[in-house]
Copies of this chain bind each other. A is one copy, B any other.
Amino acid sequence: MLLRVRAAVAQLAAGLGAGPGAQPPAEGRGGGAGAGRGSPPPAAFCRPAFLQLTPEELRRADDHTGRAVQSPRDGRRRLPWSTGYLSVLSLQGRKGFYFHYWALFDGHAGSGAAVMASERLHLHICEQLRELTGSADTNQMSNAEDCGEVPNDAVPRFHLEKAVSHESLVIGAIENAFKHMDEQIERERASQHLPGGCCALAAIYLMGKFYVANAGDSRAIIIRNGEIIPMSREFTPETERQRLQFLALLRPELLGKEFTHLEFPRRIQPKELGKKMLYRDQNMNGWAYKKIEEDDLKFPLIFGEGKKARMMATIGVTRGLGDHDLKVFSSNIHIKPFLSCFPEVRVYDLTQYEHCPDDVLVLGTDGLWDVTNDEEVAGVVMEVLTSYEPNDPCRYTMVAQELVVRSRGVLKERGWRLANDKLGSGDDISVFVIPLDVNKLGAHNRK
């Protein structure tokens, strides 16, 4: 990817009873650095407002040589859940219920989409949940309007009616919030100067459950009693190959005669026409041989592997927000039709397990996971947490800091190096460490 920018943001939860005309609350801005509505184009790099950086610190944050690690300056006052890196404020609406919200937006090719998503995605989620409680389908939502609550799981009224759970209504609301966020970026990208796109990873806590929504290559895991529970998967040209190839096969005009939907292990030379070559199509997970034809000389839709895998030789993530203007280099071929703005949402029911203060949900951008695997992260979590008192509100921030420092490494003569002397992550790194001990959730935890 080209220029990358990262905005890490936690957004407040807004009361769902607020009227349709409600303004985004002032606390809702977190992407920082003068990116409010109507403001000038955002800076190339920005940090969340909750970090309360001074102008000098903001400049330091933009210094790619020193690579300072940023964490909140007053964790005790600002972090009600003692979340590592940052936490979340909570406001009550008139008749609403609460949700808590954390999100990471990992931008590329410009910061505009990431900053805007950091300022607005929670409002779209809020809006979708509000529509849910106000919806008037009498079969599914009979009690919804009066009490302003998500309804009880509906009992089918007709034969052959499918029962739809609360959970899947919330999942649908979050999915559509991502779609509306993407549409807003599309509408306003010209007037608001919103270049680029971003991966989005959001964790929403609502009525005793965590909903983890991921569109891109960030990752979330829960560490519970030392056990690792994956809460997301990455969406890349490799993991989404079959979806992308299927679309390319059905809509070949999207390939602009430059690409083939088949995957080959390497570029094919014209002189190899007629010979045999390994390939994979949209139906295959394995590889097989085919005779090389003229069409196979085109560039493969998916090419490269691991961190170097690219779709249309351009982009290494296949879900996210923005990228509406992204084209294949020096061509008129649009990338966006292949990208999905829809997240995969996984649910974790906090009430099903008695959590201890060392159980956490970790959200991290790919800069973390590229050099530190799940087991190593779990090791750092356990190591750091045991060195602090269970009720020390800084302990989760210290975990986040340790994770970022270890993944960045230390600047030596031969570049940024990890403890094992391997290269540290050259990418931006942002991490949340969120405690799962429900006793900490206090009065806001309505089970």
A residues in contact (CB < 8 Å) with B: 128, 131-132, 135-137, 139-140, 156, 158, 160-164, 167-176, 179, 243, 246-247, 250-251, 265-267, 275-278, 280, 283-289, 303-305, 308, 340, 342, 344-345
Contacts and interface: CB of A to CB of B under 8 A. Distances in A.
Contacts of A277: 137
B135 A172 contact: no
A286 B170 contact: yes
Contacts of A161: 265-266
A137 B278 contact: yes
Nearest to A169: B287
Given A164-B278, A265-B161, A283-B340, A128 B176 contact: no
Nearest to A251: B250
Q: How many chain copies does the complex carry?
A: 2
B286 A174 contact: yes
A145 to B, nearest CB: 12
B345 A286 contact: yes
Nearest to A132: B289
A322 B109 CA distance: 48
Nearest to A277: B137
A139 B308 CA distance: 21
Interface centre among A162, A280, A342, A345 (most CB of B within 10 A): A162
Nearest to A170: B286
Nearest to A159: B266
Contacts of A128: 288
A303 B285 CA distance: 29
A162 B169 CA distance: 42
Contact of A286 (B139, B173, B278, B305): B173
A278 B137 CA distance: 8
A223 to B, nearest CB: 23
A317 B251 CA distance: 26
Given A275-B137, A278-B137, A131 B287 contact: no
A174 B160 CA distance: 38
A187 to B, nearest CB: 19
Given A278-B164, A304-B160, A286 B175 contact: yes
Contacts of A140: 265, 278
Given A250-B247, A276-B136, A278-B137, A285 B160 contact: no
Nearest to A282: B342
B344 A285 contact: yes
A210 to B, nearest CB: 15
Contacts of A158: 266
A167 to B, nearest CB: 8
Given A135-B289, A247-B250, A342 B284 contact: yes
Contacts of A174: 286
A432 B266 CA distance: 41
Interface centre among A131, A171, A174 (most CB of B within 10 A): A171
